[in-house]
């Protein structure tokens, strides 16, 4: 059975990315899939430096869970057509060598999917997806063919309150699991 790591790059308690990650966790756990959610990636994780060998406790915690996971779903906000710097920082920390793991070994043979919740229509989201998916492939992850976008036209809050269109997101999650 798969074990899935969810990384939410949302930066507020009301973040759509955090809400989407929490929904996905509930949905996947309802399918009896072991799921681990990490958010708040912007505190307790200093920016990595060239000499950054001593890994922060939060990175060690995420890393120790990721060792046993074979899938990752990343919930990424979009900033000016790119993804959040604190998300890349987290991924860069996770790519470092440790113990018997070499550089990027932690990501090898794992699948990744990307979900984005944005406040606008999401016109920059495809550029952010392209950039993030390329980076994930550089780490050695196998990136799912497409991403899921919650935008002002596909509103997450409305879906969660009214249970509208969640079936579409559930289908995305199920297709990712089956890939």
Where do the domains of the chain lie, and which CATH numbers do they carry? 3-178 (3.40.50.360)
Tokens describing residue 73: 């779903």
Lowest-pLDDT choice from 54-68, 99-113, 156-170: 156-170
Q: Give pLDDT tens digits for 104-146.
A: 999 998 999 999 988 777 778 888 999 999 999 999 999 998 8
CB 126 within 8 A of CB 159: no
Residue 5 has pLDDT above 90, yes or no: yes
Q: How far, in Å, are 37, 58, 59, 162, 172 from residue 178 at the CA level?
A: 20, 30, 28, 27, 10
Tokens describing residue 51: 């000499």
């Amino acid at each position: 059975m798969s074990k899935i790591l969810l990384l939410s790059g949302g930066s507020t308690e009301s973040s759509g990315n955090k809400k989407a990650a929490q929904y996905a966790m509930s949905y996947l756990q309802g399918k009896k899939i072991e799921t681990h959610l990490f958010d708040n990636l912007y505190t307790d994780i200093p920016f990595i430096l060239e000499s950054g060998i001593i890994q922060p406790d939060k990175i060690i915690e995420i890393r120790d869970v990721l060792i046993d996971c074979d899938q990752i779903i990343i919930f990424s906000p979009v900033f000016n057509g790119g993804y959040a710097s604190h998300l890349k920082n987290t991924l860069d920390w996770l790519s470092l060598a440790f113990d018997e793991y070499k550089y990027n070994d932690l990501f090898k043979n794992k699948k990744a999917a990307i979900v984005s919740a944005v406040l606008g229509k999401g016109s920059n989201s495809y550029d952010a997806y392209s950039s993030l998916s390329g980076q994930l492939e550089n780490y050695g992850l196998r990136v799912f063919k497409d991403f899921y976008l919650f935008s002002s036209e596909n509103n997450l809050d409305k879906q969660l309150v009214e249970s509208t269109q969640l079936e579409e997101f559930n289908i995305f999650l199920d297709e990712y699991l089956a890939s």
